[in-house]
Structure 1
Amino acid sequence: MMMSMSRNITKRFLLNGKQTPFHAPCPPAVRPYDRIINKASFSSSSSSSSSATFGFVGWYLRKLEEHPIVTKCLTSSFIFTASDFTSQMISSSSASYDFKRTFRMAVYGLLILGPSQHLWFNHLSKILPKRDVSATLKKIFMGQAVFGPVINTVFFTYNGAVQGESVPQIITRLKRDLLPTMIGGAMFWPACDFVTFKFAPVHLQPLLNSSCAYVWTIYLTYMANREK
């Protein structure tokens, strides 16, 4: 029996005229699992390299999808905290760092600006869903005519109230600071808003807006200290 099998193998080898690799093929029942293992291995290596490259960005985008309001509020709070820190470092008008001021800005970004941005940008995307030039210019105009005056009034009112100012003092502050802030904003924000509304999807617009607010706050502080 063994001699017969040996002769058959030798005959096949001679008839084919070439050597075959010395390994047995996968049985039919195993082949599907072999393909699955290879596919899973490739998918795992590709996802790990993608995760290494876009780890933080992918994580942030997932959080925006899973918890949009919370993520935007925390982002706004972080940016305003960093903005106030940078502003105080640039101005350095006082000997000690004002931690209460930074805390006020962090709370403002978390509880007021973050939710406001979420509602405002989502509202604009519903009434003006396109991102062409015409729709973008309309959004910029609405931002200057509606959102800007309201959010700046809220900001000055909040900032005065948490510092213990009375209602007449807050009104005096608004009369003194609101109009110059609006005029300065009219020269700064349209360019930022154009980029935001024209090129950014709605879920990323608050992030770009807060980033511009970071630059805007530092700029105002720098100019104020130059004038002094």
Structure 2
Amino acid sequence: MSQVKFEERETVRTTQQRDGGGRGTAFAKEPPQQPPQKRDFAHTVGDAITKGAGPNGYLAWYLKKLQEDPLRTKMLTSGSLAALQEFLASWIAKDRNKHGHYFTSRVPKMAIYGAFISAPLGHVMISILQKLFAGRTSLKAKIMQILVSNLVIAPIQNVVYLTSMAVIAGARTFHQVRATVRAGFMPVMKVSWITSPLVLAFAQAFLPHETWVPFFNFVGFVIGTYINAHTKKKRLQALRRKYQDSRSVGDERSEYDRRASGPGGY
């Protein structure tokens, strides 16, 4: 009889422990679950943010497009980034058109430049660079690759860039374009010589070749936006100083004319 009671007590105790029974139930409550709508929205946002790193994510899709149709993909990417770069630089520098908008006529022009000039040129240059050093992973080969990129490829791309920017800005003669290129070549080259070795060394060490294009596009977009915004700010400051100087000179002339035409004037 005592044996039966002991087994019943053990059964009840085991059931209470499994169910969290007894006084511990008040302290073992499960955390409140989020409402289904909020949880679903959070999961959706999380999936959208982290999807890019997955095998079916945005980066994998973009790399697939680069392999299937590299030139067309680069043209669409470069054109979109160039237009966005111009718009962001205008917004950062507060450079509006006569209607007060940041979407100026330079935005579609920059899109044309990015799609039909910058992308094909970059496609050819990067392809040549990768073919010259394909399969060469020694330190000497990496250093040579950086030197060729900075001393051959970068000058060509910067000259084309400055020429295009001069034409977009309104230059119509050879002398105007030449003056723009000569004035901006060394400043742009200095930026290239500082950033390009670091970017290329990072790509050599950590990135596979198929990801070089989107990585270079991203870095170029950030640097280009900064340079473009800085240039716009300097131009706007120069225009403001010129306007203020012209007003001060005009006020002085008006005061002189007023005094000269008054009684006792010459």
Q: Same fold (TM over 0.5)?
A: yes
Distance of aligned partners of 1:85 and 1:186 in 2 relative to their CA distance in 1, 3 Å threshold? same
Query: Do the aligned partners of 2:81 and 2:221 also contact (CA within 8 Å) in 1?
Result: yes
Q: Could you list the per-position Cα deviations for residues 114-158 of structure 1 after superposition, in whole angstroms to 9, with x for gaps in the alignment?
A: 122222122112211134443222222111111111111111112
Query: Do the aligned partners of 1:131 and 1:199 also contact (CA within 8 Å) in 2?
Result: no
Amino acid at match of 1:99: T
**What corresponds to 2:127 in structure 1?**
122
Secondary structure at 2:152's aligned position in 1? Answer: helix
**What corresponds to 1:153 in structure 2?**
159
CA distance in structure 2 between the aligned counterparts of 1:189 and 1:141, rounded to whole angstroms: 10
Query: Do the aligned partners of 2:86 and 2:228 also contact (CA within 8 Å) in 1?
Result: no
2:58 to 56, 59, 66: 56
Task: Report the CA distance between 1:202 and its aligned residue.
Answer: 2.9
Query: Do the aligned partners of 1:83 and 1:214 also contact (CA within 8 Å) in 2?
Result: yes
Secondary structure at 1:93's aligned position in 2? Answer: coil
Query: Do the aligned partners of 2:129 and 2:149 also contact (CA within 8 Å) in 1?
Result: no
Stretches (4+) displaced over 6 A:
none
CA distance in structure 2 between the aligned counterparts of 1:190 and 1:128, rounded to whole angstroms: 16
Task: Report the CA distance between 1:60 and its aligned residue.
Answer: 1.6
Secondary structure at 1:150's aligned position in 2? Answer: helix
Superposition RMSD in Å: 2.5
2:113 to 102, 108, 113: 108
> What aligned pairs does 1:3-42 form with structure 2 within 5 A after superposition?
none
Q: TM-score, normalised by structure 1?
A: 0.69
Amino acid at match of 1:175: R
Indicate the structure whose relative CO is greater, using CA pairs within 8 Å and at least 6 residues apart: 1
Secondary structure at 1:97's aligned position in 2? Answer: coil
Amino acid at match of 1:153: V
Counterpart check, 1:165 vs 2:172: yes
Secondary structure at 1:59's aligned position in 2? Answer: helix
Secondary structure at 2:95's aligned position in 1? Answer: coil
1:96 to 87, 96, 101: 101
CA distance in structure 1 between the aligned counterparts of 2:127 and 2:112, rounded to whole angstroms: 22
Counterpart check, 1:207 vs 2:209: no
Q: TM-score, normalised by structure 2?
A: 0.60
Secondary structure at 1:96's aligned position in 2? Answer: coil
Percentage of identical aligned residues? 23
Which 5+ residue runs of structure 1 have no aligned equivalent? 1-49
Distance of aligned partners of 1:76 and 1:214 in 2 relative to their CA distance in 1, 3 Å threshold? same
CA distance in structure 2 between the aligned counterparts of 1:205 and 1:79, rounded to whole angstroms: 16
Which 5+ residue runs of structure 2 have no aligned equivalent? 1-50, 238-266
Query: Do the aligned partners of 1:83 and 1:217 also contact (CA within 8 Å) in 2?
Result: yes
CA distance in structure 2 between the aligned counterparts of 1:197 and 1:134, rounded to whole angstroms: 13
Q: Could you list the per-position Cα deviations for residues 48-82 of structure 1 after superposition, in whole angstroms to 9, with x for gaps in the alignment?
A: xx999433233222211211111122112222222
Counterpart check, 1:77 vs 2:75: no
Distance of aligned partners of 1:132 and 1:101 in 2 relative to their CA distance in 1, 3 Å threshold? farther
CA distance in structure 2 between the aligned counterparts of 1:195 and 1:145, rounded to whole angstroms: 19
CA distance in structure 1 between the aligned counterparts of 2:229 and 2:53, rounded to whole angstroms: 38
CA distance in structure 2 between the aligned counterparts of 1:147 and 1:157, rounded to whole angstroms: 16
Distance of aligned partners of 1:89 and 1:51 in 2 relative to their CA distance in 1, 3 Å threshold? closer
Task: Report the CA distance between 1:90 and its aligned residue.
Answer: 0.6
